[in-house]
Every structure is written in C-alpha cells, then in structure tokens.
Amino acid sequence: MFCGALFQFIHLWAIGVFVFLFVIEWCITKHDDRAFRILYLAWKTKIVNRSESSFTNLWGGSSYSPRDYGDQD
C-alpha cells in the first residue's frame, strides 16, 4: 500500500499534464468532433505525401491517394 501511495505521489505531475491535454483536446473538438481526423489528413497530405508521393515530381504538388500508381513512364 505504501508503494502505491508513493507511486501516485511521485507521478502527481502526470495528472496535471493529463488535465491540460484534455482541456486542449476538448477545445479543439468542441464544435467539430472530427477535427483530429481533419488535422491528420492535413498532416498526411501536406507533409508526409510531399516526400513520399510520386506525383510531387510530376506536378510539384502532393496528393493523397490510397492507390499506388508506381512509375508512370
């Protein structure tokens, strides 16, 4: 029992971090419950696909497509 109480006391800061992050997430999703999906797709299309997409060299942009087109020679 002492070990459990000591563990909770030492990691008390984690509760504060959790509350802080929960409030931020609540503010983001207050009006749009799919806001994190939109942020994820924005991240995937603007940053990740910029380096992984084969279309970046073709027209200089990024495109999100579930299909792999490969080389279009």
Residue 17's identity, in one-letter code, is V
Question: Is this prediction's pTM over 0.75?
Answer: no
Please give the structure tokens belonging to residue 58. Answer: 């073709």
Q: Residue 72 in contact with residue 58, Cβ under 8 Å?
A: yes
Whether residue 60 is predicted with pLDDT greater than 70 in this model: the reply is: no
pLDDT digits (tens, 9 = 90+) for 23-46: 999 998 899 888 888 888 888 777
Count CB-CB contacts under 10 A for residue 62.
17
Arithmetic mean of pLDDT over the chain? 78
- Which pLDDT score, from 0 to 100, does residue 52 have? 65
- Which pLDDT score, from 0 to 100, does residue 21 have? 94
Please list, residue by residue across 14-51, b when 16 or more beta carbons sit within 10 angstroms of its beta carbon and e when fewer do.
Answer: eeeeeeeeeeeeeeeeeeeeeeeeeeeeeeebeeebee
